[in-house]
Amino acid sequence: MNNTELWDKVCTTDPDHTKHVNQRGGFTTIDAYHQIHNATAVFGPVGKGWGWDYNLVFQDGILIADMTMWWGGDRTQVVRQCGARSTHKRNGSVDEDAAKSAVTDALTKCLSYLGFNADVFLGKYDDNKYVQNLRQEKQKPQPKRVEQKREQSDEEKTFHQLMQRIDSAKTLEEATAVGADASQVQINNKQAAQMLDDRIRGKILELSQGVLNNG
């Protein structure tokens, strides 16, 4: 794997999932759930393909989320970062979302170390032309995936042909021949592949018992 393969894959941010904040000189925020969606698309479901553990620490009116983010089934690949949020708003009232915001801040930082939304953190979103180009690229019509549809259609046709053959098999030799042919083709739909395999196994068992009984 190229060292920057993951980075290059996730570094570009969809402008529709960002928001410009005018405070502190102005900066761009990224929708947290969009980040989680993108990480899930790469690593798998939260809790299985990736996830995070954290401790909350209170210090001088600040909530600090000390987070370790992991990915991979064995959880040996980790990134550690901290997020922080004041426990009170500017008007002096308690910020009930302080803990949530600190955790979100920490998770965003962890993901950024892997390249997620790197264009935002590299300051590219300060360039209006860059953001405009992203929007224009998104509006371009996507090429039709005719070839993929054709392949899917061929796969479905093969599946139905094999199902018809095994259902109509009258002898053990015929059923075994269908099984041999099925082993030579690839059916990407796991549910369909399992259904076909179960049907072939069941038919072979049925015909085998018939041979034994007749013998």
Domain regions of the chain by residue span: 5-139, 146-214
Residues 6+ apart with CB under 8 A from 66: 54, 55, 56, 57, 80, 82, 106
Q: Is the pLDDT of residue 194 over 70?
A: yes
Q: Is the pLDDT of residue 164 over 70?
A: yes
Tell how strand 50-59 and strand 27-30 pair up. unpaired
pLDDT digits (tens, 9 = 90+) for 60-109: 999 999 999 999 878 889 999 999 999 999 899 999 999 999 999 999 99
User: In 10 A of CB 32, how many CB atoms?
Assistant: 17
pLDDT at 146: 57
Q: Is the pLDDT of residue 21 over 60?
A: yes
Mean pLDDT of 162-190: 87
Q: Is the pLDDT of residue 111 over 90?
A: yes
Q: Is the pLDDT of residue 150 over 80?
A: no
Q: Is the pLDDT of residue 149 over 70?
A: no
Question: What average pLDDT does the structure give for the chain?
Answer: 88
Q: Range with the lowest mean pLDDT among 107-111, 127-131, 188-192?
A: 188-192
Residues 6+ apart with CB under 8 A from 119: 11, 12, 13, 125, 130
Output the CATH code of domain 5-139: 3.30.390.80
Could you tell me the pLDDT band of residue 110, with boundaries at 50, 70 and 90?
A: very high
What does the alpha-carbon distance between residue 199 and residue 89 come to, in Å, rounded to a whole number?
A: 64
What does the alpha-carbon distance between residue 165 and residue 162 come to, in Å, rounded to a whole number?
A: 5
pLDDT at 34: 94
